[in-house]
Structure 1
């Protein structure tokens, strides 16, 4: 006999209240119903205010840590403007997290895609404000520091609540006192280096981009960590691809993108590669030159967007991309609802996902 709907929903509420956030698919399997049926139950319970629903999960409303940010005041009207760079899969994943939070709060998004040109974000923001945007969530491209500095002044004058997502404005700048949410990339590099040295690797190369705030943060973090680490005997930096610089037309001022040659020259047995697509291409270049991954060289990718899809799935540092977007959206919703509050600069820690591209050094 099929279980009555009311009883099933009581069991759903009991499970969510006791466990916290719970996947809809797990609840469906446990209650022996289809995911579609379970999702309808969750939606109805959410409409009744008995729980919260997210992308594939049900959350209790009584758990303060999971309580949604206060919704924007009713009657304000107007969407929240979200500005992200074009063709940026990493930031698109953060956008999914932000979208879920805004949808749960009943706030409409006006999405603006910024082309790859210096200063492209400013006219988009001005247009959004003219169209009635009541808040702004933005992830500027900032290919170089000059572009970043040029954006500080006008962003600081934006007349609506503003949250900068996955960017860390320079300390003491005009944007220092603006809400921001980003990944702790220093910790991500730390995870990678600790994993490699723990496997016995003593000579490590970082092949990274140099055309984004994340890339520059990774390069600075690796330089600091590798120079100070007692188990790193030799280290080197290289570009991850010829076009991974702020101005692709300018000559590269450092090592060419010859990772096999750099590994031979330094005796390195491990590499950290940013970002995923560059990492997969560099692993192919290693293979073509006779360097096997992970037998001859352990590799860690940084971003974890498509790192797991390679012929050898890559161990990767995985920033909490969707959680960054959700936290940024909830911070903006809080600002819209409560107005004057202390400025918040949040950092979320990434994690290391170990796959098949790292192994202990032979003889270590």
Structure 2
């Protein structure tokens, strides 16, 4: 009978928790897994931050707690599936399975006031031991509407959200991507290619877009670039906002601004054909970087993209919650994971 990768990786992680640092060849023999398959599983677990590889051995990451989540049920509330959060969910699911826990999912769509009700349904219908939560607060939305975060009957971890000091959820553990650092990576790359000004195209209505905009202002100052007024991307249906953005970018190119950072992939992938219709070609006339790296590699040309560590965010959040369930007195932790930059054809280098 074949065994799924998820089950195998659960075996691997539990074995490493029990044995500590162990040679890969010895682990393969003990688990009865072909060494080539085991190395593939270990590589996947290492990318998720669940294990550490070093010179033919495998161990727990530095600072990791050997928590045992067998029989635990973790509820996870996200604003969407099918895009950015797919990888976050996959990371949380892998970490839960590796600890013998089960993940159940709830969805409270963007701009929905239904977060509290959906979290309540998870608590009632699944008897969850803890929650991973991505509240639907916008740039300034961390207010009294989210006071329920401080009244939850089970431990919770904020995922890709950071509570305001003293605000709702400020006493909760939190794991997220450092989006300001991600923007700095993008602008530093463009500056190294000789660009002295970069147009930012971004939404205005999400917590991530707010961080991207703050990161843009900081990066422009740190790198000594010429600040440009941001282009607001319409978040409604259709291409209206992207069409207008293409016009603004084209006007910028005519004025000498030949680089752009676009949040997010959905908008960035629509831009190249719209720019071609305006006589502009990537990367000859414009260097473009997307923010999110969900589908950026599938564009034509493939888009250089800031890649938040989505899978690792989910994995670390689940680990943090399981650790909290083991020891409720441990200090509250707020963990920022750094994005990377995937360089592809849309910048010309």
Superimposed CA distance per residue, residues 164-199 of structure 1 (whole angstroms, 9 cap, x where no aligned partner): 001111123132221000111111111011100110
Superimposed CA distance per residue, residues 76-133 of structure 1 (whole angstroms, 9 cap, x where no aligned partner): x562111111245111211100000000111111211123443211111112222321
Equivalent residues, number: 315
Q: Distance in 1 between matches of 2:263 and 2:61?
A: 37
Shift in CA distance, 52/335, structure 1 to aligned 2, threshold 3 Å: farther
DSSP 3-state at the match of 2:346: coil
Which residue does 2:235 correspond to in 1?
Answer: 243
1:65 deviates by: 2.7
Shift in CA distance, 56/170, structure 1 to aligned 2, threshold 3 Å: closer
Question: Which of 305, 320, 326 is residue 316 of structure 1 equivalent to?
Answer: 305
DSSP 3-state at the match of 2:200: strand
Which residue does 1:224 correspond to in 2?
Answer: 218
Residues 41-56 of structure 1 correspond to what in structure 2 (within 5 A)?
A: 42=38, 54=45
Question: Which of 94, 102, 121 is residue 100 of structure 1 equivalent to?
Answer: 94
1:359 deviates by: 2.8
Q: Distance in 1 between matches of 2:24 and 2:300?
A: 37
Which residue does 1:121 correspond to in 2?
Answer: 115
Shift in CA distance, 268/329, structure 1 to aligned 2, threshold 3 Å: same
Superimposed CA distance per residue, residues 241-280 of structure 1 (whole angstroms, 9 cap, x where no aligned partner): x226xxx8xx99xx95333344246421100011111001
1:297 deviates by: 0.6
DSSP 3-state at the match of 2:229: strand
Superimposed CA distance per residue, residues 221-240 of structure 1 (whole angstroms, 9 cap, x where no aligned partner): 1023214432x134231023
Residues 295-334 of structure 1 correspond to what in structure 2 (within 5 A)?
A: 295-334=284-323
Residues 1:65 and 2:62 aligned together = yes
Question: Which of 134, 145, 156 is residue 162 of structure 1 equivalent to?
Answer: 156
Shift in CA distance, 42/160, structure 1 to aligned 2, threshold 3 Å: same
Which residue does 1:209 correspond to in 2?
Answer: 203
Superimposed CA distance per residue, residues 123-149 of structure 1 (whole angstroms, 9 cap, x where no aligned partner): 111122223211000112324523x32
Which residue does 2:338 correspond to in 1?
Answer: 349
Which residue does 1:289 correspond to in 2?
Answer: 278
Instruction: Return the TM-score normalized by structure 1.
Output: 0.77
Q: Distance in 2 between matches of 1:266 and 1:158?
A: 53
Which residue does 2:106 correspond to in 1?
Answer: 112
Which residue does 1:182 correspond to in 2?
Answer: 176
Superimposed CA distance per residue, residues 41-72 of structure 1 (whole angstroms, 9 cap, x where no aligned partner): 749xx9xxxx9984999866644538564023
Shift in CA distance, 351/205, structure 1 to aligned 2, threshold 3 Å: same
Which residue does 1:91 correspond to in 2?
Answer: 85
Q: Distance in 2 between matches of 1:292 and 1:284?
A: 9
Shift in CA distance, 210/38, structure 1 to aligned 2, threshold 3 Å: farther
Which residue does 1:32 correspond to in 2?
Answer: none
Question: Which of 227, 233, 237 is residue 226 of structure 2 equivalent to?
Answer: 233
Question: Which structure has the larger Rg?
Answer: 1
Q: Distance in 2 between matches of 1:175 and 1:65?
A: 27
Q: Distance in 1 between matches of 2:161 and 2:338?
A: 14
CA RMSD of aligned residues (A): 3.4
- Is 124-133 or 310-319 further displaced after alignment? 124-133
DSSP 3-state at the match of 1:299: strand
